[in-house]
Amino acid sequence: MGPVQAPPPTSIPHLPEGDSALAFLREGYNFVSRRCERLGSDAFSTTILGRPVVCARGREAARMFSHPGRFTRRGATPPTVTRLLQGRHSVHQLDGTAHHQRKALYMQLLDAGATARLVELFSRQWRARTAAWPRRPEVELQTEAERALAAAAFRWAGVPAPATEAGIAGRTRELAAMIEGAGSLGPRLVRGLRLRRRHEKRIRALVQSLRDAPGPQLDSPAALVARLRDEYGTLLPVQQAANALTNLLLPTVAVGRWITFAALALHRHPELRGRFAEPGYLQRFVHEVRRFYPFVPALAGRVREPFDWAGRRFEAGDLVLLDLYGTNRHPALWEEPGRFNPDRFIGWNGDPHGFIPQGAGDYLEDHRCPGENPTIALMMAALGHLLELDYSVPRQDLRIPMNRFPTGPRSRLILGRARPARPAHAAVAATA
Ligand code: HEM
């Protein structure tokens, strides 16, 4: 995959600028990389809102950051981001044995069989939606994908959801607003918090009802999570169990943003359409979408156990920011990182520290996203279904603001005149 091995930084220069908060907001996804290039170092120290922080990118930084037990996410991420995306006392906030135990449950809930069931439900939802597209002059792809994902996730998890389009639209809006609000300080944040409260109320009631009267679906993810106990064997407070359940629903809807990017890549590179019949191409394309397009910009962690790295002592409580986007586009790891090229994943060795769109390292030992394989599978399914359609991409604003978290094409990708493709065009690879 990558052209050369980047050595670990040998020292960590201090950024000769004042507080970096404004620059970070202004430059967004590019903030860390630009400074690394300028300083000739993959790590630098600065302050953000008066708080000292070491920003780092690259494989060695990811290895340092994902060393088991070294960092906690507690007190590292801004509280509103935690509140919107994970909820307090969720798996992301746990450390040590408590984390290990909870994470094992997520890995089990999201194993290969569960992923296959989720994808099957998603495909059914997606096909039902796309069957109606020929009757509509235009559709907004991100909205369509999010609704199909939400409907599938509810069903898969055993969470009752309305059968009507308006009902599903409302539930999807709540989950999507939490994702939208997480990187904002203004109205998007307020809306996200308001809709999260509404969502939580319903999920708390579901958890309570599953505890009071376990129904026939005793082994649904919702029922299992409702009965979750902590590492001392105590039943979780209802709110915490509700957060744990939301952690299966919300990130599934987030996959819609990457499905949108995948369709955008298809639009930008029509010459690649013919390649999907090749074995493995669909998966390579999906990997490249997750590498190339911006989503989670960075991860913040606070040191738990002191350690030395790059000639510096890190003490308990120190704050470190690992640049995910910058690592996925690091020029020493990726040849021509700014070029969309799925073939770079031919013979890829699965490096858990150089390609980190959903976190680095080991799934069980650290916080790396347990939904990574389901994400890939859902994206592959969506892309496969898109390739079965003919559609136009009318004029629209496809710019991707780099200082908006999370970002995406401004228009959310509008497709026009969608209808089933003539067989010759439907070159869909059935295999990964
Ligand atoms: C667009 C797709 C997704 C992206 C970009 C994404 C990204 C991430 C990232 C960056 C982390 C934090 C890693 C860390 O702190 O080291 C994470 C954690 C997590 N993700 Fe995902 N994720 C996605 C999809 C999913 C899906 C589909 C699920 C489940 C259905 C999921 C469930 C979780 C959970 C439970 C955690 C916390 C894990 C822990 O703390 O150990 N994610 N995800």
Report residue 425's pLDDT band, with 50, 70 and 90 as the boundaries: very low
For residue 386, which amino acid is it?
Answer: L
Check residue 217 and give its pLDDT.
66
Average pLDDT over residues 13-37: 96
Check residue 274 and give its pLDDT.
95
User: Which residue's CA is the nearest one to ligand 1's atom 4?
Assistant: 358
Give the whole-angstrom CA distance, residue 147 versus residue 143.
Answer: 6
User: Which residue's CA is the nearest one to ligand 1's atom 7?
Assistant: 358
Give the whole-angstrom CA distance, residue 429 versus residue 419.
Answer: 19
CB 6 within 8 A of CB 59: yes
- For ligand 1, the distance from its centroid to the CA atom of residue 251, given in whole angstroms, is 7
Q: What is the CB neighbour count within 10 angstroms for residue 368?
A: 18
Q: Which atom of ligand 1 is nearest to the CA of 93?
A: 40
User: Which residue's CA is the nearest one to ligand 1's atom 20?
Assistant: 369
Check residue 215 and give its pLDDT.
65
Check residue 423 and give its pLDDT.
61
Whether the per-residue pLDDT at 224 is higher than 50: the answer is: yes
Q: Tell me how far CA of residue 377 lies from CA of 262, 349, 363, in angstroms.
A: 13, 19, 17
From 82, 61, 74, select the one nearest 12 (Cα to Cα): 61
More confident residue, 353 or 423: 353
Mean pLDDT of the chain: 94
- For ligand 1, the distance from its centroid to the CA atom of residue 109, given in whole angstroms, is 13
User: Which residue's CA is the nearest one to ligand 1's atom 11?
Assistant: 369
Q: Which atom of ligand 1 is nearest to the CA of 367?
A: 41
Check residue 428 and give its pLDDT.
47
User: Which residue's CA is the nearest one to ligand 1's atom 1?
Assistant: 255
- For ligand 1, the distance from its centroid to the CA atom of residue 252, given in whole angstroms, is 9
- For ligand 1, the distance from its centroid to the CA atom of residue 358, given in whole angstroms, is 6
Average pLDDT over residues 232-253: 97
Name residues whose C-beta falls within 8 Å of residue 124's C-beta, 6 or more positions apart in sequence: 152
Report residue 424's pLDDT band, with 50, 70 and 90 as the boundaries: very low
Whether the per-residue pLDDT at 5 is higher than 90: the answer is: no
Q: Which atom of ligand 1 is nearest to the CA of 99?
A: 41
**pLDDT tens digits, 57-114:** 999 999 999 999 999 999 999 999 999 999 989 999 999 999 999 999 999 999 999 9
Check residue 8 and give its pLDDT.
73
Check residue 174 and give its pLDDT.
98
Tokens standing for residue 393: 């991409």
Q: Which atom of ligand 1 is nearest to the CA of 92?
A: 40
Check residue 9 and give its pLDDT.
81
Q: Please give the helix or strand (H or E) that residue 21 lies within, else none.
A: helix 21-27
Q: Please give the helix or strand (H or E) that residue 260 lies within, else none.
A: helix 238-268
From 54, 57, 61, select the one nearest 13 (Cα to Cα): 54
Q: Which atom of ligand 1 is nearest to the CA of 256?
A: 1
The rounded Cα 189 to chain-centroid distance in angstroms is: 18
**pLDDT tens digits, 123-174:** 999 999 999 999 999 999 999 999 999 999 999 999 999 999 999 999 999 9
Q: Let me know how many helices (H) and strands (E) the chain has, helices first.
A: 14, 10
Backbone angles phi, psi at 392, to 5 degrees: -105, 160
Give the whole-angstrom CA distance, residue 143 versus residue 136.
Answer: 14
User: Which residue's CA is the nearest one to ligand 1's atom 5?
Assistant: 358
What pTM value is reported for the model? Answer: 0.96
User: Which residue's CA is the nearest one to ligand 1's atom 15?
Assistant: 367
More confident residue, 406 or 17: 406
- For ligand 1, the distance from its centroid to the CA atom of residue 313, given in whole angstroms, is 29
Give the whole-angstrom CA distance, residue 170 versus residue 161.
Answer: 10
Give the whole-angstrom CA distance, residue 96 versus residue 107.
Answer: 16
**pLDDT tens digits, 357-414:** 999 999 999 999 999 999 999 999 999 999 999 999 999 999 999 999 999 999 999 9
Whether the per-residue pLDDT at 1 is higher than 50: the answer is: no
- For ligand 1, the distance from its centroid to the CA atom of residue 371, given in whole angstroms, is 6
Report residue 2's pLDDT band, with 50, 70 and 90 as the boundaries: very low
Give the whole-angstrom CA distance, residue 34 versus residue 323.
Answer: 11
Helix (H, G, I), strand (E, B) or coil at 280: coil
The domain segmentation of the chain, as residue ranges, is 21-425
User: Which residue's CA is the nearest one to ligand 1's atom 42?
Assistant: 371
- For ligand 1, the distance from its centroid to the CA atom of residue 114, given in whole angstroms, is 16
The yes or no reply on domain 21-425 and CATH 1.10.540.10 is no
Q: To which residue do tokens 């009757």 refer?
A: 135
Whether the per-residue pLDDT at 432 is higher than 80: the answer is: no
More confident residue, 242 or 428: 242
User: Which residue's CA is the nearest one to ligand 1's atom 40?
Assistant: 92
- For ligand 1, the distance from its centroid to the CA atom of residue 70, given in whole angstroms, is 19
Average pLDDT over residues 217-232: 91
Tokens standing for residue 219: 């082994």
Check residue 216 and give its pLDDT.
60
Q: Which atom of ligand 1 is nearest to the CA of 366?
A: 41
Check residue 3 and give its pLDDT.
46
Q: Which atom of ligand 1 is nearest to the CA of 295?
A: 5
Percent of the chain at pLDDT exceeding 70? 95
> For ligand 1, which residues put their CB under 6 angstroms from it?
73, 91-92, 103, 106, 110, 247-248, 251-252, 254-255, 258, 295-296, 299, 358-359, 366-371, 374-375
